């Protein structure tokens, strides 16, 4: 009986340590509106809304692009507890004017890291893009960082195919305000 009790106490202590170490990305959760004055241009898109949902170690990044009546949602579901997430990619919405499209096996292999007490989500995505010149392996390092007051999110992307970083600045908004802006293809 004493061994059984000791085993239960050891298991309970181990589970408590595991749950304390679980990633907590709740500070990133919310709806975020693109600020064009502080950001890299969206190419041919007129508006971008970023919606981040968090359920324990599961984080979903939804980028909602709009230009007039044209819209596209890119949904990336991540499990922060996994060393690599393999995410299917239907279409690559970034820089669509340059003729680069998703290629290869039409997936992204994404590694994640949660830093700064959950205020910074770092991802490293490997994918293959198809161009007129052939397929090319691309790596995209992304930092999603929430400001200390929680009102602003800055996304910095470093792409292996670009010399300059891409910087998107977002302000936290309510869902109703975000729906109105994206529905009209505007960033405001």
Residues 25-64 pLDDT 10s: 999 999 999 999 999 998 788 899 999 999 999 999 999 9
Q: Are 118 and 150 in contact (CB under 8 A)?
A: no
If residue 30 lies in a helix (H) or strand (E), which one and from where to where?
Answer: strand 30-34
Residues 6+ apart with CB under 8 A from 104: 127, 128, 130, 135, 137
**Phi, then psi, of 122 in degrees rounded to 5:** -110, 130
CA distance 164 to 42: 15
- Cβ proximity of 167 and 49 under 8 Å: no
Q: For the residues 139-154, what does the mean pLDDT come to?
A: 97
Question: Does the pLDDT of residue 2 top 50, yes or no?
Answer: yes
pLDDT at 105 over 50: yes
List the single range of 6-20, 98-112, 134-148 with lowest mean pLDDT. Answer: 6-20
SS3 5: helix
Q: What is the mean pLDDT of the chain?
A: 86
Backbone angles phi, psi at 91, to 5 degrees: -160, 145
């Amino acid at each position: 009986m004493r061994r059984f009790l000791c085993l239960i106490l050891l298991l309970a202590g181990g589970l408590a340590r595991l749950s304390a170490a679980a990633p907590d990305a709740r500070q990133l959760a919310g709806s975020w509106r693109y600020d064009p004055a502080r950001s890299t241009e969206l190419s041919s898109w007129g508006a971008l809304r970023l919606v981040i949902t968090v359920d324990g170690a599961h984080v979903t990044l939804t980028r909602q692009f709009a230009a007039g009546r044209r819209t596209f949602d890119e949904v990336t579901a991540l499990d922060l507890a996994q060393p690599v997430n393999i995410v299917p990619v239907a279409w690559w919405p970034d820089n669509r004017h340059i003729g680069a499209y998703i290629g290869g096996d039409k997936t992204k292999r994404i590694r994640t890291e949660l830093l700064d007490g959950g205020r910074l989500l770092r991802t490293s995505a490997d994918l293959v893009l198809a161009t007129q010149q052939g397929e090319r392996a691309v790596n995209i390092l992304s930092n999603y960082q929430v400001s200390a007051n929680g009102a602003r999110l800055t996304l910095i992307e470093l792409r292996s195919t670009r010399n300059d970083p891409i910087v998107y600045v977002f302000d936290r908004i309510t869902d109703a305000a975000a729906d109105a802006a994206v529905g009209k293809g505007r960033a405001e």
